[in-house]
Amino acid sequence: MEAPTAAAPAATVQPVAATERIQAVDVLRGFALLGILWMNIVSFALPEAAYFNPRVAGGDTGWNLWVWQFTYVFLDGRMRGIFSLVFGAGALLLITRAEERGAGASIADIYYRRILWLLLFGVLHAYLIWYGDILYPYALLGLILYPMRKLSVRALLIVAGVQVVLLTGMGVGDSFRLREMREKATKADQAAARGEKLTGEQEEAQKEWKDELKKIFPGPEEIKKETDAYRGGWVSAMKQRAKTVWRWHALPYYFPFFWDMLMMMLIGMALVKARVLGAERSYRFYGWMAAIGLAAGLPVNAFGAWKSVQVGFEPVALPLAMATYQIGRVASTLAYVALLLMIVKSGALGWLTRRLAAVGQTAFSNYISHSAICTLIFYGFGLGMFGKLERYQVYAIVPAIWVFNLAVSPVWLRHFRFGPLEWCWRSLTYWKRQPMRADEASARAAL
């Protein structure tokens, strides 16, 4: 989400005014938020492993397989990529605008207070509502964005590029690591079959491989346990959710999981510095950006989807099949950004872009509303639909929530300055209760 703009002097630093917002950035954020729901819906509705492996649950034939392939080729990682990109852009806008207005070092206090409150919101969201929270990792990464604000466009892109290369290499390396792990476990199994007494190392090899298989191909017992937990009451769901949250939150700060988002944040900062995100560049520039991104990204991810199906999502072959995921994802993410900016720049589809901008302006509230709505639909304390639908069927819910967001967000902003959670976040950030009601004329102008 875009960080609020500050105004000098430091004692009067305030959230961004409606007239100061960059509509193109809000449109990008709103578009990404709606797209993220398309990606997240499977994790709300089906067992955790089904996200990457349709053979686990939800079906892997016919329409189920087609929808998995479509999502992987065109959407997987792109919506998160745009959202991360805009987060980085928003952080830089907050800092640079305040510094330009003379806020000085006091902006660091505001920035870090904002990030630390986001960290808390993320922890609460993850444990109390849904394990797939993105606020917590964004806050952790936000802690290191401030000292990177002075880097040049070139430096930011180089650092991001290095991360893409490393993540790609790690995908290849992971395949070889798993192959070695499987071979050790197989030899231990063969020794056990011959009646030999296994060494501690052999027993550990068997356990490691068994645990690895559970991640990609959990057995019926594991799936039933997860399903029963989420179809149970709120406490049952929270206990199951806490196991997943703890596993993700326990990852080291330098774990590659974080690079996926950090590199897009750095690219977002670079695009702000290069005057790209404000739709200020020429149509020719955005046209080439879109063409190159699509030509480089979509074929790469199409091959990855095809190869994954060909190997049957086999644990050892799957990381190698998906090794080029980041290359295709980053390229096509930038292409989507370019296409959206061309639409904003041209003024086309104004009825839609204005609504997307409103969704983007209230992204925090809309994001949490997605979790609340979906858990009520799928978990046992609501309708209890977890695990009951095929993969392609769960997507029928998404357009209805999109319509709700697109309809309600503009109406809300006609009367209020912020979304409810945005208001809470900003009040805590500035340690002062922010005025909630909006002037009708200025709110209409902002929309």
Cα(43)–Cα(129) distance, integer angstroms: 13
137 is in which domain, residue-wise?
Answer: 10-446
Q: Please tell me what DSSP assigns to residue 132.
A: T
Q: Are 365 and 422 in contact (CB under 8 A)?
A: yes
Residue in the structure block whose two tokens are 């090794």: 323
| Full pLDDT tens readout for the chain, 447 residues | 444 443 334 445 666 666 668 899 999 999 999 999 999 999 999 999 999 889 999 999 999 999 999 999 999 999 999 999 999 999 999 998 888 877 777 889 999 999 999 999 999 999 999 999 999 999 999 999 999 999 999 999 999 999 999 999 998 998 899 999 999 999 999 999 998 888 989 989 999 999 888 888 888 899 999 999 999 999 999 999 999 999 999 988 888 889 999 999 999 999 999 999 999 999 999 999 999 999 999 999 999 999 999 998 888 888 889 999 999 999 999 999 999 999 999 999 999 999 999 999 999 999 999 999 999 999 999 999 999 999 999 999 999 999 999 999 999 999 999 999 999 999 999 899 999 987 644 544 444
- Residue 416's DSSP bridge partners are 437
Residue in the structure block whose two tokens are 């709103």: 30
DSSP 186-217: HHHHHHHHTTPPPPHHHHHHHHHHHHHHHHHS
* 78 phi/psi in degrees, rounded to 5: -75, -45
Cα(298)–Cα(339) distance, integer angstroms: 15
pLDDT tens digits for range 84-123: 999 999 999 999 888 887 777 788 999 999 999 999 999 9
User: Is residue 2 assigned to a domain?
Assistant: no
The type of residue at 82 is I
**Token pair of 27 as six digits:** 């449109």
User: Is residue 61 assigned to a domain?
Assistant: yes
User: Is residue 173 assigned to a domain?
Assistant: yes
Q: If residue 388 lies in a helix (H) or strand (E), which one and from where to where?
A: none
User: Is residue 271 assigned to a domain?
Assistant: yes
Q: Are 288 and 190 in contact (CB under 8 A)?
A: no
User: Is residue 160 assigned to a domain?
Assistant: yes
Cα(213)–Cα(240) distance, integer angstroms: 19
Domain count, the chain: 1
The type of residue at 329 is R
User: Is residue 305 assigned to a domain?
Assistant: yes
User: Is residue 357 assigned to a domain?
Assistant: yes
User: Is residue 403 assigned to a domain?
Assistant: yes
3-state secondary structure at position 417: coil
6-28: string of b/e by CB count within 10 Å (b at 16+)? bbbebeebebbebeebbbbbbbb
Cβ neighbours, 10 Å, residue 441: 8
Cα(34)–Cα(397) distance, integer angstroms: 12
